[in-house]
Chains A and B, each alone.
Chain A
Amino acid sequence: MKALSRVYLFLIFLFLYAPIAVLIVFSFNASTTMSRSVWSGFSFRWYSILFQDQMLLDALRNTMLIAATAAIVSTVLGTAAAIGIFGMKKWTKRVVMNVTNLPMVNPDIVTGVSLMLLFTFAARILGGSLGMFSLVLAHITFCLPYVILSILPKLGQMNPNLFEAAQDLGCNPLSAFFRVVLPEIFPGIVTGMIMAFTLSIDDFVISYFTSGTTQTLPIFIYSMTRKRVSPEINALSTLLFGTIIVLLLLINLRNSKDKKPSRAPQMEV
């Protein structure tokens, strides 16, 4: 039984990691023919080409810019929203939460086309065209529910008297919020912000419909997959993957120090 379960674990993880291993291995392929399955020796050449590809670097810059903006704006807006929603009456709360859940429940493609309709409509009236601005708006929109849902449980866990205790000791409501409530829900805010950032970096479907001619990294990759993907993309994703692993290790170290494993809110959906 024990051996059987080990074999099972091994097979599933083989399935999960085989393609990633292939990607990483082929990022070091010396091949000049761009063949995706012929190994012709070890080299770093795709890594050096990567840093000279202006289109790709632009896409990377756009992606980072959008992710940072979307993460910050959705965190600020979402934190305020969570506090407001938490204080709402049961019925109002239910309505607001149902609408909030809509972008998470709806297929991405439907969210994407609905926002595309809005942006093209607005562009026709106000002038301008789809691009960085519409991308940022779209990303904030789909990040918001995740931020709100990672903060709400923290508010629920908080002793409801804390806010009152601070006022009782002489804080006005605003300073009571900053001195007592904010530190309490801070882990939720950080989780929400990290989720927003990673969701934004990874998003293809919604960006695809709201980007106009602007390229983000996933869109750039998509346009390449329709022809042939240059191994420099393998190189780039290897680098990104490495960064993510380092970040996760750091977060995990911090969490195990706190002894409070913060479950990703998506598991609670």
Chain B
Amino acid sequence: MKAKSASFPYLVWMAVFIIVPTALVVIFAFTDRSGKFTLMNLEEVGQYSNVFLRSIWLGAIATAVCLILGYPLAYLIAKTRARQQNVLILLVMLPMWMNFLLRTYAWMTLLEDSGLINRALEGLGLPAMHMINTQGAVVLGMVYNYIPYMILPLYSILTKIDGSVIEAAEDLGANARTVFFRVTMPMSMPGIISGVTMVFVPAVSTFIISKMLGGGGNLLVGDLIDMQFLGSAYNPNLGSAISLVLMVLILICMGIMNQFDENGAMEGGVMV
């Protein structure tokens, strides 16, 4: 059919703006400033393994917190009446339409030493807490910004679970607890996987949140890349090498995640 030719302009676009740039990252990662082949950049990335570890660690904690907080919420929303569901889901998504730099900035206002939370504590006669510029603050920023990405896929899969399956489990003698762990939870696995992916990827690669809430001491991979391209340490070759490693790490993580998804039910995900 001639329909296929409709996608021709897009295929060209895709080649120029997705494939070529990705190839450029690879080329830069393997060359030095004069354009000669080298493995130097990748070796140098090794020196920053602590930054990578910190990013993955904080990203993983944030993802876990999102899952622990988000699952019950998605479950509760999925259980309410249809009309109420739409309102609650809208309320979950709404904050995403506030510029995320501003939302993060608002947390600075709340968390800083003389910020609103400490003032409130003071007012109650409690000792002040140091919260800003800690790893905890970075995780909080990640959780705050990305938790909707966890709740939405969970909610959407939980509403799709056929009520009669639950009834069948009850009919076969399962109590509420068993129903949840043996039926609901396994059936929502694809939602968990896509939620985890959608939180983990941006959390690992963020560079604003760490800068704003983590102070200078909690450098993440994103900050490292930023520094190589637009910062003080200008070195696009090293920056490309770091990007390449980050990209590969994330693809590996997603590959592992997809293994959990036995049914292969995750549509539109990576099938690399």
Direct contact, A vs B (beta carbon within 8 Å): yes
By a beta-carbon cutoff of 8 Å, the part of chain A in contact with chain B is: 5, 8-9, 12-13, 15-20, 22-23, 26, 36-37, 77-78, 80-88, 94, 96-103, 105-111, 113-118, 121, 137-138, 140-141, 144, 148-149, 173, 198, 202, 204-205, 208-209, 217-218, 221-222, 225, 229, 233-234, 237, 240-241, 244-245, 248, 252, 256, 261, 263-264, 266-269
Also in contact, A106 and B247, with CB within 8 A (given A80-B9, A118-B17, A225-B101): yes
Chain A hits for B144, CB < 8 A: 15-16, 19
Q: B208: CB under 8 A from chain A?
A: yes
How far apart are the CA atoms of A225 and B250 in the complex, in Å?
29
- What is the distance, in angstroms, from B122's C-beta to the closest C-beta of chain A? 12
| Interface residues of chain A: helix, strand, loop or mixed (majority) | helix
Q: B153: CB under 8 A from chain A?
A: yes
Select which of B7, B92, B96, B207 is within 8 A of A109 by beta carbon. B207
Q: How many residues of B contact A (CB 8 A)?
A: 90
Which residue of the partner chain A has the closest CB to B225? A109
> A36–B99 contact, CB under 8 A?
no
> A114–B243 contact, CB under 8 A?
yes
> A114–B106 contact, CB under 8 A?
no
Select which of A217, A222, A241 is within 8 A of B97 by beta carbon. A241
Also in contact, A81 and B205, with CB within 8 A (given A94-B271, A101-B270): no
Chain B hits for A110, CB < 8 A: 25, 205, 225, 243, 246-247
Select which of A98, A202, A248, A266 is within 8 A of B99 by beta carbon. A202
Select which of B25, B90, B101, B269 is within 8 A of A221 by beta carbon. B101
Select which of A78, A140, A225, A268 is within 8 A of B267 by beta carbon. A268
Chain A CB within 10 A, most for which of B22, B76, B95, B147: B22
> B243–A267 contact, CB under 8 A?
no
How far apart are the CA atoms of A116 and B243 in the complex, in Å?
13
- What is the distance, in angstroms, from B232's C-beta to the closest C-beta of chain A? 14
> A84–B7 contact, CB under 8 A?
yes
> A81–B6 contact, CB under 8 A?
yes
Select which of B5, B116, B250 is within 8 A of A22 by beta carbon. B116
Chain B hits for A264, CB < 8 A: 93, 152
> A8–B76 contact, CB under 8 A?
yes
Also in contact, A117 and B73, with CB within 8 A (given A19-B103, A87-B3, A263-B156): no
Chain A hits for B208, CB < 8 A: 204-205, 222
> B229–A209 contact, CB under 8 A?
yes
> A99–B14 contact, CB under 8 A?
yes
Q: B91: CB under 8 A from chain A?
A: yes
By a beta-carbon cutoff of 8 Å, the part of chain B in contact with chain A is: 1-11, 13-14, 16-22, 24-25, 28, 69, 72-73, 76, 86, 88, 90-110, 112, 114-116, 119, 144, 147, 152-153, 155-156, 194, 198, 201-202, 204-205, 207-208, 212, 222, 225-226, 229-230, 236, 239-240, 243, 246-247, 250-251, 254, 267-272
Select which of A5, A84, A98, A106 is within 8 A of B8 by beta carbon. A84
- What is the distance, in angstroms, from A41's C-beta to the closest C-beta of chain B? 17
- What is the distance, in angstroms, from B212's C-beta to the closest C-beta of chain A? 6
How far apart are the CA atoms of A222 and B99 in the complex, in Å?
10
> B243–A141 contact, CB under 8 A?
no
| Interface residues of chain B: helix, strand, loop or mixed (majority) | helix
Chain B hits for A103, CB < 8 A: 18
Chain B hits for A118, CB < 8 A: 16-17, 20-21, 24
> B109–A5 contact, CB under 8 A?
no
- What is the distance, in angstroms, from A158's C-beta to the closest C-beta of chain B? 13
Which residue of the partner chain A has the closest CB to B73? A12
Which residue of the partner chain A has the closest CB to B254? A105
- A–B complex contacts, Cβ < 8 Å, 25 sampled: A9-B73, A9-B76, A13-B91, A19-B107, A19-B110, A22-B106, A36-B108, A77-B10, A83-B7, A84-B8, A87-B3, A107-B205, A109-B222, A113-B229, A113-B236, A114-B24, A114-B25, A116-B229, A117-B21, A118-B21, A118-B24, A225-B101, A225-B104, A241-B98, A248-B94
How far apart are the CA atoms of A103 and B10 in the complex, in Å?
14
20 new A-B contacts, CB < 8 A, other than A8-B76, A80-B9, are A8-B72, A16-B92, A26-B109, A37-B109, A37-B112, A37-B116, A84-B7, A88-B4, A88-B7, A97-B271, A106-B247, A108-B202, A109-B207, A110-B225, A111-B21, A113-B243, A118-B17, A202-B100, A204-B99, A252-B86
Chain A hits for B201, CB < 8 A: 105, 107
> A113–B240 contact, CB under 8 A?
yes
> A248–B90 contact, CB under 8 A?
yes
Also in contact, A209 and B116, with CB within 8 A (given A9-B76, A108-B202): no
Chain B hits for A107, CB < 8 A: 201-202, 204-205, 222, 246-247, 250
- What is the distance, in angstroms, from B165's C-beta to the closest C-beta of chain A? 21
Also in contact, A117 and B102, with CB within 8 A (given A8-B73, A98-B270): no
> B152–A252 contact, CB under 8 A?
no
